[in-house]
Amino acid sequence: MKKTNIGVLISGSGTNLQSIIDKAEAGDLPVNVACVISDREKAYGLERAKKHGIPAVFVDRKGYALREAHEDAIIGVLDKYNVELIVCAGYMRLLTHHIISRYRNRIINIHPALLPSFPGTDGYGDAWRYGVKVSGCTVHFVDEGCDTGPIILQGINPVDNDDTFESFRERGLAIEHRVFPEAIKLYCEGRLKIEGRRVRILDKE
């Protein structure tokens, strides 16, 4: 299978990025991680990329008065590396219509809660403080809302009586690291069909 060029957007440590890199290098994920882009200079995910010989690019949002101008700089990097699919792996900045319209249905994100519950920047914390019995993660296409795009896959993380927040979150991250590459693989195989709010997963040909 031809490999899909992906560009990964990050803001932090990049554990989901690492799971994608590991599965790609193992031959389990048909992607070429063409570039990693961060809006934070000290994001450890950039170091992860460099260790694997992947172009790691810091695009400083402070250098641009408008979000659209910052996104134009990101688009320039994506174009340079011929990226087909944008993967948001802990990217903490909302994308605008400017970039979404250019890559419509070619941007996916992972969120650490079962959407539509607990959108926003603290999915684990919000779910834990609410006292849910079941949480998880959601991989979805990105639209102009905050964590509102059509859902591709969800992973389930039951909350045990003896859980601490740390154990709950650690188990959740392991689920993320499994589900996110699975969703990316489905995209690469051409098996995702968006029908309104639903994403239908097609059978293998």
Summarize pLDDT for 94-149 with one digit per residue, the tens. 999 999 999 999 999 999 999 999 999 999 999 999 999 999 999 999 999 999 99
pLDDT, position 1: 73
What CA–CA distance (Å, rounded) separates 28 from 144? 31
Q: So what's the pLDDT on residue 205?
A: 77
Q: Is the peptide bond before 116 cis (omega within 30 degrees of 0)?
A: yes
Place of tokens 């603290």: 122
Peptide linkage before 158 cis (omega within 30 of 0): no
**Tell me, what CATH number does 18's domain have?**
3.40.50.170
Residue 108 main-chain phi, psi, to 5 deg: -125, 155
Structural domain including 116 reads 4-201
pLDDT band at 180 (very low <50, low <70, confident <90, very high): very high
Number of domains in the chain: 1
**Confidence grade of residue 177 (pLDDT, cut at 50, 70, 90):** very high
Write down the pTM of the prediction.
0.96
With CA atoms as reference, report the closest residue to 132 among 114, 111, 116: 114
Distance from the Cα of residue 22 to its chain's centroid: 15
> Above pLDDT 90, what percent of the chain?
98
**What whole-number distance in Å separates Cα of residue 123 and Cα of residue 137?**
9
Catalytic (active-site) positions: 111
* Arithmetic mean of pLDDT over the chain: 97
CA dist., res. 134 & res. 127, Å (int): 9
User: In whole angstroms, what separates CA 131 from the centre of its chain?
Assistant: 25
What's the Rg (C-alpha) of the chain?
Answer: 16
Instruction: Measure the CA–CA gap between 44 and 67, rounded to whole angstroms.
Output: 23
Q: What is the β-pairing status of strands 192-195 and 198-201?
A: antiparallel
Token pair for 5:
């060029």
